[in-house]
Copies of this chain bind each other. A is one copy, B any other.
Amino acid sequence: MKYKILENPNYEETYDLIEEGLKKKATILLFACCRVSYEGRSLSELDYGERIIMMKPDGCFLIHQDNKVDPVNWQPPKSRPRAYIKDEILFLESHRRSPPERIEVEIKKVHYANYNLIEDYEELERAGYEKDMGDMIWDKPHIIEEGFRPTVREYATEHGFIDILGKDSKGNLMVLELKSRKAGITAVKQIRRYLTDFENKENSEIKAKNGQKQKIRGLLVAPSIGDDALELLEEEGIEFVSVEPPRELKKDKRVTLDSFG
């Protein structure tokens, strides 16, 4: 059977449904009055109230109240779920090691319970990431400025990776730090560290070669920048270029309706 639904089941019926659902690696949903204890990275108690309990086949365990996006209590994937009856009361448990964490749910009244073998073979396709910005700038460097030539991506320095390294039309070195969202003060500091790393390197290597000091330009590339960050950036002589992350999906994927008859 692909699914099962029970309305107002007693604790034994609910127990059987959960056991069956777990065995079949189904996704289990309960709407029940329950009490929740959590102990692990933190410690919490939640007294009796009606909540939605979700147990996914990957081991996730979620308890949702009637507000908020986040569950009030949860366990991550690969946790071990279990149901048991003690003194005619149904308990749910989800446990994991490393770090040791345990949720215990005391079920008082189940309004409905169901499990479903979910058929879902699709993954979310997203746009607007930092990587997408990098791809876009790599492909169309004129977005930054006319004559910009990117040379290296993810260039390693002592303090981390420079997103894009390149040269401007005059041959000056350009250090680009990309942010897919509004840039903060930390982004400016990050560039400052990169520039310092580079100046040190330059002093020991590049300068030795051609005997003259090469200009290095630091660029913060983001859709926008915070006021405080802008202030620091100007102090530091770093430039800001406003670039919107690419807001388009790359693939033209099509799935026919027929595949879900």
Q: Is A108 engaged at the interface, CB distance under 8 Å to the other chain?
A: yes
Complex CA–CA separation, A71 to B52 (angstroms): 14
Cross-chain contact A45 with B114 (CB below 8 angstroms): no
Chain B residues, Cβ within 8 Å of A57:
66-67
Stretch from A142-150, A151-159, A224-232, A248-256 forming part of the interface with B: A248-256
Complex CA–CA separation, A120 to B49 (angstroms): 4
Cross-chain contact B72 with A67 (CB below 8 angstroms): no
Among the listed B31, B58, B69, B257, which residue makes an inter-chain contact with A76, where contact means beta carbons less than 8 Å apart? Answer: B69
Cross-chain contact A119 with B49 (CB below 8 angstroms): yes
Cross-chain contact A5 with B3 (CB below 8 angstroms): no
Contact with B along A1-21 (1 / 0, CB 8 A): 001010100000000000000
Stoichiometry, as copies per complex, reads: 2
Complex CA–CA separation, A216 to B54 (angstroms): 52
Nearest B-chain residue to A109, judged by Cβ: B260
Cross-chain contact A112 with B109 (CB below 8 angstroms): no
Complex CA–CA separation, A35 to B259 (angstroms): 12
Cross-chain contact A48 with B257 (CB below 8 angstroms): yes
Among the listed B77, B116, B125, which residue makes an inter-chain contact with A68, where contact means beta carbons less than 8 Å apart? Answer: B77
Chain B residues, Cβ within 8 Å of A46:
122-125
Task: Give the interface size bracket for A toward B.
Answer: 35 or more
Among the listed B43, B51, B122, which residue makes an inter-chain contact with A48, where contact means beta carbons less than 8 Å apart? Answer: B122
Among the listed B47, B67, B255, which residue makes an inter-chain contact with A58, where contact means beta carbons less than 8 Å apart? Answer: B67
Q: Is A60 engaged at the interface, CB distance under 8 Å to the other chain?
A: yes
Among the listed B49, B67, B74, which residue makes an inter-chain contact with A77, where contact means beta carbons less than 8 Å apart? Answer: B67
Chain B residues, Cβ within 8 Å of A54:
52, 64
Contact with B along A154-175 (1 / 0, CB 8 A): 0000000000000000000000
**Can you list 13 A-B pairs, Cβ within 8 angstroms, ordered by A?**
A3-B31, A5-B112, A41-B181, A42-B127, A45-B124, A45-B253, A48-B122, A48-B257, A49-B119, A50-B116, A65-B118, A108-B257, A112-B114
